C-alpha cells in the first residue's frame, strides 16, 4: 500500500535554527522520523526561537520510502543554502552512489558554517562528500568495514553511540540517532530543553556518546552467566558500599584478571564504569521520585560518598547538577 505524504517547512512562527533533513528515493523512514520528532514536532512550550524544520528533496519526486510510503517534498537542494543544521537520515544503501549535486551542496553548506549530521548509514553520504577526511566518525557496527575499506582516511570508531566533531556529527545505529539529536538540543538550548524533549519521547534524557554500541557477548556460557548475573544483582543492591575488584572476583570464583575480562565481555564495559553508571542511574531515580531525601543522603545512598563527588560526575556525564536535575524532573 502506498500513501502520499506532503511535508512543508515549519517556519511560520519560529525564528530559531533551520534544520533541513534530506529526503531521497529509498528514504529510511525511521531515521527520518527521529529527526522530525526532535526538531520538527511543534513545541510551543519552547518559545519562538525553537528550530525551524524543513525537508530537502535531493531528487525529483515522488520519492519511495521504506514501509511502502511515497513522499512528496516542496523544497529541493536550494533549502540547504538556509540550513544551520543538515541531517542525513541514513542512506538507501551503504554502497549506493551519492549524487555529485548533493555532495557539492553539502560541501558548500559546510564551508559557510552549517553543521552536518548523519544517522546510521548516512555516514556514507558524508564520507562520499569528502566531509570526513581526516576526521573521527562513527556508524552502525555493521557498516564500519565497508566504509573503512572505501574511505581509509576516515577514523572510524565502532564502539560509541555518537561522535561530535563540532561541525560534523555522526550517530551509530538508528536509535543512537535519538541520543545524538538530544545531544544537539542540549548544546543549543540547554539541559532542561533536552530533558523535556526526552520525556515526550519517553527515552533516557542522556546517554553518553562514548557508551558502547553493543555487548560483544550478551549471552555468556550458562555457568559463567549465572555467576555474573547473581553478582550484578548483588552489586546493584550494595551501591553504597565499596566494591573492590578483588572482592568481586572472589565472589565470582575467578581470578582478578579473568573476572575483569569476562565482566567486560558480558556487560560491554569495565567494572568501574559499570558501577559509575549504576550509581548515576540510582541517584537519578532518587532525584526524580523522592523530594524528601537530601542531596547529601542521595550521594551516600548511591555510593558517591559526598555531594561534591556526585556533583562532579553529574556535571561530567549529564551536563547538569543534581539540584538542577531534580528541579527539571519534579519541579522542586
Main-chain phi, psi angles of 69, to 5 degrees: -95, 155
| Neighbour tally for 293: CB within 10 Å | 13
Judge contact between 213 and 176, C-beta under 8 A. yes
> Exposed, middle or buried, 328 (CB in 10 Å: 0-12/13-18/19+)?
buried
Judge contact between 153 and 128, C-beta under 8 A. no
186-228 pLDDT tens trace: 888 887 888 888 878 777 655 554 444 443 333 344 444 455 7
pTM greater than the 0.75 cutoff: no
pLDDT at 215 (0 to 100): 38
- Is the predicted pLDDT of residue 105 greater than 80, yes or no? yes
C-alpha cell at 212: 558502547
pLDDT at 330 (0 to 100): 58
Which segments of the chain does DSSP mark as H helices, in order?
29-35, 100-111, 123-128, 144-150, 176-189, 191-201, 222-236, 245-252, 256-267, 271-289, 295-301, 307-318, 322-330
Fold of the CATH domain 3-201: Rossmann fold (3.40.50)
Secondary structure class of 204 (helix, strand, coil):
coil
Domain ranges of the chain: 3-201, 222-268, 273-330
Rounded CA-CA distance 192/319 in Å is 10
Residue tagged 549524487 (cell numbers)? 99
pLDDT at 214 (0 to 100): 42
Average pLDDT over all residues of the chain: 83
Rounded CA-CA distance 183/319 in Å is 10
C-alpha cell at 78: 536550494
76-102 pLDDT tens trace: 888 899 899 999 998 988 889 999 999
Q: Which residues of 85-101 are buried (b: 16+ CB within 10 A; e: fewer)?
A: bbbbbbbbebeeebeee
Of residues 219 and 66, more confidently modeled: 66
* CATH code that applies to domain 273-330: 1.10.10.60
Number of H helices, E strands in the chain: 13, 11
Highest mean pLDDT: which range of 101-105, 274-278, 317-321: 101-105
Please state the rounded mean pLDDT for residues 221-248: 78
Q: Which residues contact 229 (CB under 8 A, 6 or more apart)?
A: none
Structure confidence at residue 155 as a pLDDT band (50, 70, 90): confident
pLDDT at 213 (0 to 100): 42
Q: Which residues contact 237 (CB under 8 A, 6 or more apart)?
A: none
Q: Which residues contact 326 (CB under 8 A, 6 or more apart)?
A: 287, 288, 291, 295, 332
pLDDT at 14 (0 to 100): 74
pLDDT at 208 (0 to 100): 52
Amino acid at each position: 500500500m502506498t500513501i502520499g505524504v506532503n511535508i512543508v517547512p515549519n517556519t511560520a512562527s519560529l525564528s530559531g535554527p533551520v534544520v533541513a533533513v534530506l529526503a531521497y528515493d529509498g528514504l529510511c523512514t525511521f531515521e527520518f522520523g527521529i529527526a522530525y520528532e526532535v526538531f520538527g514536532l511543534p513545541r510551543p512550550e519552547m518559545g519562538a526561537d525553537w528550530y525551524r524544520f524543513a525537508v530537502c528533496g535531493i531528487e525529483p519526486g515522488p520519492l519511495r520510502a521504506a514501509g511502502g510510503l511515497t513522499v512528496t517534498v516542496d523544497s529541493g537542494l536550494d533549502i540547504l543554502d538556509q540550513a544551520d543544521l543538515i541531517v542525513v537520515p541514513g542512506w538507501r544503501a551503504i554502497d549506493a552512489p551519492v549524487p555529485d549535486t548533493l555532495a557539492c551542496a553539502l560541501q558548500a553548506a559546510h564551508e559557510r558554517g552549517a553543521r552536518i549530521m548523519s544517522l546510521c548509514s548516512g555516514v556514507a553520504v558524508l564520507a562520499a562528500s569528502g566531509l570526513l577526511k581526516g576526521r573521527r566518525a562513527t556508524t552502525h557496527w555493521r557498516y564500519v568495514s565497508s566504509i573503512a575499506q572505501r574511505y581509509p582516511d576516515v577514523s572510524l570508531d565502532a564502539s560509541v553511540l555518537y561522535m561530535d566533531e563540532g561541525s560534523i556529527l555522526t550517530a551509530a545505529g538508528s536509535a543512537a540517532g535519538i541520543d545524538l539529536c538530544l545531544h544537539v538540543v542540549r548544546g543549543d538550548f540547554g539541559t532542561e530543553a533536552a530533558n523535556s524533549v526526552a520525556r515526550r519521547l519517553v527515552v533516557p534524557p542522556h546517554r553518553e556518546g562514548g557508551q558502547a554500541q553493543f555487548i560483544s557477548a550478551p549471552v555468556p556460557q550458562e555457568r559463567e552467566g549465572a555467576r555474573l548475573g547473581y553478582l550484578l544483582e548483588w552489586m546493584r543492591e550494595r551501591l553504597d558500599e565499596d566494591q573492590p575488584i578483588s572482592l568481586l572476583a572472589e565472589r565470582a570464583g575467578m581470578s582478578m584478571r579473568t573476572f575483569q575480562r569476562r565482566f567486560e565481555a558480558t556487560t560491554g564495559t569495565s567494572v568501574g564504569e559499570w558501577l559509575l553508571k549504576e550509581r548515576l542511574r540510582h541517584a537519578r531515580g532518587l532525584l526524580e521520585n523522592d523530594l524528601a531525601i537530601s542531596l547529601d543522603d542521595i550521594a551516600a545512598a548511591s555510593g558517591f560518598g559526598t555531594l561534591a563527588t556526585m556533583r562532579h560526575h553529574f556535571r561530567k556525564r549529564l551536563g547538569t547538577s543534581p539540584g538542577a536535575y531534580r528541579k527539571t524532573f519534579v519541579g522542586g
